[in-house]
Amino acid sequence: MLENEDVLNTYLEKACDAESELLKRIARETYLRETMPHMLSGHFQGRVLAMLAKLVKPKRILEIGTFTGYATLCLAEGLDKEGVLHTIDINEELEERVQSYFDSSPFGDQIKYHIGDAAEIIPKIKGDFDLVFIDADKKRNLYYFETLIDRVVSGGLLLIDNVLWKGRVLTDYPDSQTKKVIELNETVAKDSRVEKLILPIRDGLFVLRKK
């Protein structure tokens, strides 16, 4: 099965637009230097995020969970010319390297990189958002959703990553982490404020459109 998935992923990547040289560099250096490189969005999911952002043409984006900045730069491709992207991460050890990636991109002046606890930083960022991408601590995803849904404009998108949790959401005996993902999925599925669907991309991407 894994071999077939690898073949499919290779096919999907060949059929979509190529990565920029900067994105290729970020991916390469992430796999060389990080202990959990699988956290990187990667080529295909990166193109999905870029496409969604370009369809929305957001003036304000919020990303929770920067990691090495790959998804950040994909989302930034859709930014309005006067737009701004706020991205939050708790890992200060990556700050210098990730900031250098942003500075090397065409979007350096539009990306506001925050280091610290997202729960403390989010209230300090004023205004609503056209697009929100949640890709951080899975145990807090429901908190982030409930905190931010009223700050997403009508017609805006809220994206949540890892909602299939490597298929563990289907297990009969979920662990505590999996239970949190299941709780999120079930809560969102019942929420009448959003139109919703899960894209089975990598580890599952919940796409929510605010009514």
Centroid of chain to Cα 51: 13
Tell me, what's the pLDDT at 4?
76
Residue scoring higher pLDDT (2 or 10): 10
Total domains in the fold of the chain:
1
Question: Residue 35's domain is classified under what CATH number?
Answer: 3.40.50.150
Condensed to tens digits (0 to 9), the pLDDT of residues 126-177 reads 999 999 999 998 889 999 999 999 999 999 999 999 999 988 899 989 999 9
pLDDT tens digits for 92-121? 999 999 999 999 999 999 999 999 999 999
Q: How far is 119 from 195, CA to CA, in rounded Å?
A: 25
Beta carbons within 8 Å of 163's beta carbon, 6+ residues apart: 169, 181, 184, 185, 198, 203, 204, 205, 206
Mean pLDDT computed over every residue of the chain: 95
Give dist(CA 76, CA 56) in Å, integer: 12
- Tell me the three state secondary structure of residue 143: helix
Judge contact between 107 and 79, C-beta under 8 A: yes
Q: What is the CA radius of gyration of the chain?
A: 16
Instruction: State the pLDDT confidence band at 12, using cuts at 50, 70 and 90.
Output: very high
Per-residue tokens: 198 = 């899960």
Strands 194-199 and 205-210: antiparallel
Q: Which domain holds residue 181?
A: 2-210
What would the two tokens of residue 125 be? 């960022």
